Amino acid sequence: MFEHIDINYLLVNYGYWAVFIGCLLEGETILILGGLAAHQTSLRLLDVIAVATLGGMLGDQILFWTGRYFGPRILPKLHRQQATIDRVSGLIERYPTASIFSVRFLYGMRLVGPLVIGASRLSPIRFSLVNLLGAAVWATLFVMGGYWAGEALENLLGNLKPYRLPIFAGVVVLAAGVAWYRHHRAKVRVGRSSPKS
């Protein structure tokens, strides 16, 4: 079944769209895959970084403006995210510019963080400029990570074309495993810090 899938065709025709849409949401896994694809010359490295930067920035801008206009109604309903909301609020009070830049790098804050920042009444221009810088650094780091992973795998395995599908599937499975582990660890930490009746 899988041997009939033309990965190169899919990457060339849909790769940039996949990177853009993936970066509107979380993005790290798709960035690593985009870097791997750039290493294999299916996609152009600088174009992957540019598309990822645009998607990452736009996703956070949408969340910022959602928080700006609907934050007071949305945030009180996010009971499970209350610890994250409190953490981001504390960061904004102490380090407003650094919190804009770093929120996308902190696990569990990528979606909630910009909502809280938007609701905090920080300047939209300030947010946009720092958000662009943060998105560019984030995209560059993860795409280059994927690119260098491709380099290391090629040194280990030789020509990667026969292994593309297993490599891509492996990255997705590994990323899902890491996300599950982080989520489980966060739940355990919240359970330990909750007051016992």
Q: What confidence tens digit (pLDDT) does each residue in 92-111 have?
A: 888 889 989 988 887 767 77
| Residue bearing tokens 């790769």 | 15
**Which element (helix H / strand E) includes 96?**
helix 96-102
The whole model's pTM is what?
A: 0.75
Looking at the predicted structure, is the pLDDT value of residue 189 above 90? Answer: no
pLDDT band at 131 (very low <50, low <70, confident <90, very high): very high
Close Cβ partners of 152 (under 8 Å, ≥ 6 residues apart): none
User: Residue 72: its pLDDT value, please?
Assistant: 84
For the chain, the domain total comes to 1
Residue 25 belongs to domain spanning: 2-193
pLDDT band at 3 (very low <50, low <70, confident <90, very high): very low
- Average pLDDT for the chain: 78
Looking at the predicted structure, is the pLDDT value of residue 5 above 60? Answer: no
- Which range of 33-37, 123-127, 178-182 scores highest in mean pLDDT? It is 123-127
Rg (C-alpha) for the chain, rounded Å, is: 19
User: Residue 133: its pLDDT value, please?
Assistant: 96
Percent of the chain with pLDDT over 70: 70
Within 10 Å of residue 101's Cβ, how many Cβ atoms? 16
User: Residue 166: its pLDDT value, please?
Assistant: 61
Q: Could you tell me the two tokens for 152?
A: 């290391």
| Amino acid in the structure at residue 100 | I
Give mean pLDDT, residues 65-88.
84
User: Residue 150: its pLDDT value, please?
Assistant: 75
